[in-house]
Amino acid sequence: MINKEKIKKLECDVIVVGSGGSGSSAAQAVAESGLNVIVISKDPLASSDTKICEGVMTVREAGDENDSEEELANNIKLAGGDLPDKKITEAFAKDSKIAYDRLRENGLRPSINKIRSTPKTLAIAMGGHNRSRSVGHKNSGLSFGHVNWDTIIKFKNIEYYEDCWFLDIVKNTSDESVVGGVAYDACNGKLLSIKAKAVIIAAGGLSTLFFPKTDTMRGNTGDSYAIGIRAGAALVDMEQIQFLPFCLASPPSYEGLLAGEPATGSFLGVIRDKYNKVILDSVYLRTRAECSEAIMRAVADGRGSPNGGAFLDMTANKKAKRSGKFFMEYLKSALPTAYNNARQALGKEAGKAEVPWEVRPSAHYMMGGIKVDEYGKALSFSTKLNKIKNIKGFYAAGQAMGGLFGSNRLGSTSLTEVAVFGYRAGNDAAKHVKKNKSKIDDSYFESHHRNFFKLFNDDGKFKAYNLKLDLQRKSWKYIGAARNKKDLLAMQNYLNELDEKVKNILVKEDMSWNQQLIEKIELQNMILSAKAVTLASINRDFSLGGHVRLDGKRKKIFSKPFSTLILMEAYNKLKIEKIERERTNFKTVLKYKINELYRLYIAKFIRILPDFLKDRIIEGKYKKILGSKAKLIEIQAGSLEAAPAEINR
Amino acid sequence: MEAETLKVRIKLFRDKKSYEVEYIYKKKFLDERPMILDVLLQAQEEKIDDLSFRYGCRARNCGICTVDINGKPRLACRARVKADDLISPLSTLPVIKDLIVKRDGIPRQMIGYNKIPSKNNLNVEADVPYHNLTACIECYACLDGCPLHKKNNLDIKDNNNAYPFGNPFSFLKLQRLYIDPLTPEEEKRGIIQKAKSLGLETYRREYKDLKIKCGVGINLKDEVIKPLLEVAFGDQIEKKNK
């Protein structure tokens, strides 16, 4: 039953959902145009993934003059297995510098390369980049967190509500345009009913589906995707979740947190199973997905470690007579937070790399998401007409959107993604609102009010929190870092059963910070997102990038790349379409492939050399990396050209 | 011999009443040394399904899981549990439910504080003191013992009101802006004005006895309060202390 006293009516020009990197950039763009913004955030202001990340950002030309827009756009597209949308990658390349300068105007202060008068880049190009363009920052993501906070606080025409769960976009039922949204304000115990002609969804990812096997914020409950698809948008590449291979498996307080990256495994690091057998060598040259796959294959075969992972063995690096001490310096400085996590969690011996580390993959980033164009406009897809159409007034940015990264994300690109597309979406939303003068009718909101009060159920039998925990366990098992058809079908059945249980969840009638209500809202979003991931994963029956199918065939090099598209045909009922993507010409792919094989061959050659010779060669390599004095803050996936290797997997 | 369980007390706040409940944490293995957050998560799973508390990154970064442990503010994700610990909401902010406090009165007092144009040369490096301040995770541990924040009326009003009196966090934000190499000289007066309007004068009077502690180890007295006092009121403080 609707209780009018519990509804607070508000009005603004644009609603921004999320207060992290994307949300703050979007809010700034709208505020600069003079319009009024309401920022809705379920966590405290700016306490987002941007705040807790490694703080390395891709800025074109920062470390290399020969870094054209085309070069960067192609790098992303090739790394993403040809799944990225060309116009979106081009927009990324076009705006990365201007977006970075905007953050600097708001208080981000990098180290400066005084000779070139540019922000200083990290010593080696990393995470699959083919140019030096990753800029590190002191205090990692926290420096960005301050900027996001400051940006939202700066403008008097930005109003913000934290502790507030955005529920759904409200649309005009006749022309499908956005007329506002509804949100549960837990702190004030109200249902916010907000009229606005545009809504920007910048509410992050879905890694909490795999909690505690994730290194991201608790709030990543797939809200973006669930809200998006309920509002009619298509979801693209939903099977493409990026897992970090080397995260902690124990003790519980550290479970899921980052311990290292393929690059920090260094020249002699290998992965071993519980029988001490090497299951992957040359770890430092491998992609994240390759490492994850090796670990999860061992687990599936019963050769995994006690906590469902494998062992990252770096002891050979340490034991080397001359290069050993350089290795330790490298390990500690390359990823300081990760190293500290590992040392605290695994103990002193592990901290000295004298014993192997037990590691297990963790969910890190959703590369798929709401289908958008290069301005952040959300798109729907009509199967009947085979046509893509934009939903007027609906925008998405950051991890919420899909189409930029495809099947693999280059290191340090997400901070650029949020700054570029947050601002683009804000800009376009402002233009849309200024053109649109019609009045918004109250009637569109009524069904949403009714639906909200239907969430309460005093006689409910199930506890939402416990269902959530069960869903998290099942998600890891069935749609986690390694998948197969049998598990995916089991997940589909499980999710349908869970839908039935949701109808019978206990939610007491209480408006003031109702945790049962919050858990139920989030659980529903997690279920819908999990359904989208499952359906997309079933239809991608081979491994590609972040999607690992243990039962998959090898993809043929000539086959045409496609993206999966998830649509909602009836309430909570999903269906799938595939859209074709343009393939990068064969010559370029072959070039990358040969390069990768060559590097693996060289690595193998060094490994079989006599110890003293091997030691000297590696010592020289460390000196080159460490000698540049620039502090390494983050090291991401395998290496330079490692990422494109995923194209043919 | 290690015990298999750990007993803690959790202070709940519901229907305008505050009361303690006991929770017995079952260790996952014998030598487990759980954090407060592990206890809260298990308590929600096993006993109190609507236990309300904040957490985010579990790695001392996001700054939102701060609670009082035996009366002192601590980050739940990195505070080890001892038997008989009392877990209660931050005493320095108004409680909404259980361990949830309303935080937004703090940032709201800063709205518009940094409305400074900085379109000049961006390729200027900030000094170490600037970066020392960006280590702040906004955990609000520094509110404990702050003589200024104590003056704020913590009653919850319906319309998200800002607190009139300042706190070390807000002053940190101001000091960071003040030493930002891109902040123009003519704007600096405005920053000090803002600091004064938040009650910096009180800090001047009570500087010697000021006991504020940063949750992540920033030296708030030397790196935030002292430099602000020096610019705002000249060098009188220094002289007095000598």
Asked whether residue A477 falls in the same domain as residue A493, the answer is yes
Q: How many helices (H) and strands (E) does chain B have?
A: 9, 7
Name which of A10, A7, A448 is nearest A190 in CA terms: A7
pLDDT of residue B156: 82
Residues 183-242 of B with CB under 8 A from A: none
Bridge partners, residue A198, by sequence: A14
Are the CB atoms for A229 and A235 separated by under 8 Å? yes
Last residue of a domain, one of B48, B75, B101: B101
With an 8 Å Cβ cutoff, are B104 and A337 in contact? no
How large is the average pLDDT for residues B73-99?
96
- Helices A611-626 and A324-334, axial angle in degrees (round to 10): 40
* Residue A63 located in a structural domain: yes
Bridge partners, residue A342, by sequence: none
Asked whether residue A210 falls in the same domain as residue A255, the answer is no
pLDDT in tens, A81-105: 999 999 999 999 999 999 999 999 9
Asked whether residue A471 falls in the same domain as residue A382, the answer is yes
Name which of A264, A290, A260, A480 is nearest A358 in CA terms: A260
Of A105, A154, A217, the CB nearest to B115: A154
To the nearest whole number, what is the mean pLDDT of chain A? 91
With an 8 Å Cβ cutoff, are B119 and A253 in contact? no
Residue B44: count other Cβ atoms within 10 Å of its Cβ.
21
pLDDT of residue A627: 65
Asked whether residue A354 falls in the same domain as residue A404, the answer is no
Asked whether residue A159 falls in the same domain as residue A47, the answer is yes
Chain A residues with CB under 8 Å of B175 CB are: none
Backbone angles phi, psi at A567, to 5 degrees: -125, 160
pLDDT of residue A310: 98
Indicate which CATH number applies to the domain containing B13: 3.10.20.30
Q: Give how far the C-alpha of residue A619 lies from the chain's centroid of Cα atoms, to the nearest Å.
A: 35
**Looking at A196-200, A220-224, A597-601, which range is the least confident one?**
A597-601
What count of CB pairs under 8 Å joins A to B? 156
* Residue A646 located in a structural domain: no
* Residue A481 located in a structural domain: yes
**Highest mean predicted confidence (pLDDT) among A108-117, A302-311, B118-127:** A302-311
Asked whether residue A458 falls in the same domain as residue A329, the answer is no
Provide the token pair at A567: 């649509």
With an 8 Å Cβ cutoff, are B102 and A513 in contact? no
Name which of A53, A76, A82 is nearest A131 in CA terms: A76
For residues A116 and A62, what is the distance between their CA atoms, to the nearest angstrom? 9
Hey, of A253, A358, A461, which one would you mutate to test binding to chain B, going by the most B CBs within 10 A of its CB?
A253
A307 at B interface, C-beta within 8 A: no
Asked whether residue B18 falls in the same domain as residue B30, the answer is yes
Provide the token pair at A582: 């343009």
What is the band of B229 on the pLDDT scale with cuts at 50, 70, 90? very high
Query: pLDDT > 70: what percent of chain A?
Result: 95
CA atoms within 13 A on the CB side of A70: 1
Name which of A74, A35, A479, A91 is nearest A296 in CA terms: A479
Q: Euclidean distance between the first and final Cα of chain A, in Å?
A: 54
Are the CB atoms for A596 and A282 separated by under 8 Å? no
Name which of A297, A420, A364, A366 is nearest A636 in CA terms: A364
Asked whether residue B116 falls in the same domain as residue B66, the answer is no
pLDDT at residue A635 tops 80: no
pLDDT of residue A129: 83
Residue A410: count other Cβ atoms within 10 Å of its Cβ.
26
Strands A270-272 and A278-280: antiparallel
Of B51, B58, B125, the CB nearest to A257: B58
pLDDT of residue A1: 67
In A542-586, at which residue ranges do the beta strands (DSSP E only) sit? Answer: 562-570, 573-580
Last residue of a domain, one of A564, A584, A604: A584
Buried b (16+ CB within 10 A) or exposed e, A31-64: bebebbbbbbbbbbbbbbbbbbbbbbbbbbbbbb
Closest Cα in chain B, distance from residue A46 (Å): 9
Provide the token pair at A589: 């792919």
A429 CB-near residues (< 8 Å, 6+ apart)? A14, A26, A29, A30, A198, A200, A376, A393, A395
Q: How many helices (H) and strands (E) does chain A have?
A: 18, 24
Chain B residues with CB under 8 Å of A256 CB are: 58
Asked whether residue B33 falls in the same domain as residue B69, the answer is yes
Closest Cα in chain A, distance from residue B57 (Å): 5
Closest Cα in chain A, distance from residue B235 (Å): 28
Indicate which CATH number applies to the domain containing A474: 3.50.50.60
Asked whether residue B24 falls in the same domain as residue B73, the answer is yes
Asked whether residue B111 falls in the same domain as residue B183, the answer is yes
For residues B29 and B65, what is the distance between their CA atoms, to the nearest angstrom? 25
Q: What angle do CA A63, A146, B116 make, to 5 degrees?
A: 90
* Residue A633 located in a structural domain: no
Domain that holds residue A356: 242-362+591-628
Asked whether residue A423 falls in the same domain as residue A450, the answer is yes
Indicate which CATH number applies to the domain containing B158: 1.10.1060
**Looking at A136-145, A447-456, A623-632, B6-15, which range is the least confident one?**
A623-632
Are the CB atoms for A195 and A179 separated by under 8 Å? yes
With an 8 Å Cβ cutoff, are B114 and A47 in contact? no
For residues A307 and A461, what is the distance between their CA atoms, to the nearest angstrom? 33
| Number of domains making up chain A | 2
Asked whether residue B196 falls in the same domain as residue B166, the answer is yes
For residues A355 and A338, what is the distance between their CA atoms, to the nearest angstrom? 17
In the sheet that A562-570 helps form, which strands lie side by side, from edge to edge? Answer: A401-402, A369-371, A235-236, A562-570, A573-580
Asked whether residue B92 falls in the same domain as residue B131, the answer is no
| Number of domains making up chain B | 2
With an 8 Å Cβ cutoff, are B114 and A464 in contact? no
pLDDT in tens, A450-485: 999 999 999 999 999 999 999 999 999 999 999 999
* Residue A23 located in a structural domain: yes
Asked whether residue A405 falls in the same domain as residue A508, the answer is yes
Residues 599-638 of A with CB under 8 A from B: none
In the sheet that B66-69 helps form, which strands lie side by side, from edge to edge? Answer: B17-26, B5-14, B86-88, B66-69, B72-75
Name which of A76, A45, A14 is nearest A417 in CA terms: A76
Question: A212 preceded by cis ω (within 30°)?
Answer: yes
B142 at A interface, C-beta within 8 A: no
pLDDT of residue B236: 57
In chain B, at which residue ranges do the beta strands (DSSP E only) sit? Answer: 5-14, 17-26, 66-69, 72-75, 86-88, 95-97, 100-101
Asked whether residue B129 falls in the same domain as residue B167, the answer is yes
* Residue A330 located in a structural domain: yes
Domain that holds residue B115: 105-241
How large is the average pLDDT for residues A342-351?
94
Asked whether residue A307 falls in the same domain as residue A404, the answer is no
| 3-state secondary structure labels for all residues of B39-101 | HHHHHHHHCCCCCCCCCCCCCCCCCCCEEEECCEEEEHHHCECCCCCEEECCCCCCEEECCEE
Backbone angles phi, psi at B19, to 5 degrees: -155, 155
How large is the average pLDDT for residues A10-30?
98
Radius of gyration from C-alpha coordinates of chain A: 24
Burial of A274 from C-beta contacts in 10 A (0-12 / 13-18 / 19+): middle
pLDDT at residue A637 tops 50: no
Strands A37-40 and A14-17: parallel
Burial of A80 from C-beta contacts in 10 A (0-12 / 13-18 / 19+): buried
Residue identified by tokens 């002292």 is B226
Asked whether residue A408 falls in the same domain as residue A354, the answer is no
A261 CB-near residues (< 8 Å, 6+ apart)? A244, A246, A288, A334, A335, A338, A634, A635, A636, A637
B136 at A interface, C-beta within 8 A: yes
Are the CB atoms for A649 and A70 separated by under 8 Å? no
Asked whether residue B72 falls in the same domain as residue B122, the answer is no
With residue A525 as reference, give the H or E element that holds it: helix A515-539
Of B49, B59, B122, the CB nearest to A341: B59
* Residue A642 located in a structural domain: no
Asked whether residue B110 falls in the same domain as residue B74, the answer is no
For residues A342 and A252, what is the distance between their CA atoms, to the nearest angstrom? 13
Strands B95-97 and B17-26: unpaired
* Residue A36 located in a structural domain: yes
Interface confidence, given as ipTM, is 0.96
Residues 70-99 of B with CB under 8 A from A: 77, 96-98
Burial of B8 from C-beta contacts in 10 A (0-12 / 13-18 / 19+): buried
Asked whether residue B48 falls in the same domain as residue B161, the answer is no
pLDDT of residue A411: 85
pLDDT at residue B237 tops 60: no
Asked whether residue A432 falls in the same domain as residue A573, the answer is yes
| 3-state secondary structure labels for all residues of A443-454 | HHHHHHHHHHHC
By CA distance, what is A341's nearest residue in B? B59
Computed from CA positions of residues A265, A266, A269, A271, in that sequence, does the dihedral angle turn out positive or negative?
Answer: positive
B116 compared with A279, residue with greater pLDDT: A279
How large is the average pLDDT for residues A264-286?
92
Query: pLDDT > 90: what percent of chain A?
Result: 74
Asked whether residue B31 falls in the same domain as residue B79, the answer is yes
Asked whether residue A147 falls in the same domain as residue A157, the answer is yes
Last residue of a domain, one of B101, B135, B159: B101
pLDDT at residue B241 tops 50: no
pLDDT at residue A563 tops 60: yes
By CA distance, what is A520's nearest residue in B? B50
Last residue of a domain, one of B83, B101, B119: B101
How large is the average pLDDT for residues A339-362?
94
pLDDT at residue B239 tops 60: no
For residues A425 and A91, what is the distance between their CA atoms, to the nearest angstrom? 12
pLDDT in tens, A568-587: 998 889 999 999 998 888 88
A512 at B interface, C-beta within 8 A: yes
Alpha helical stretches, state H, A381-514 = 414-435, 443-453, 464-479, 485-502
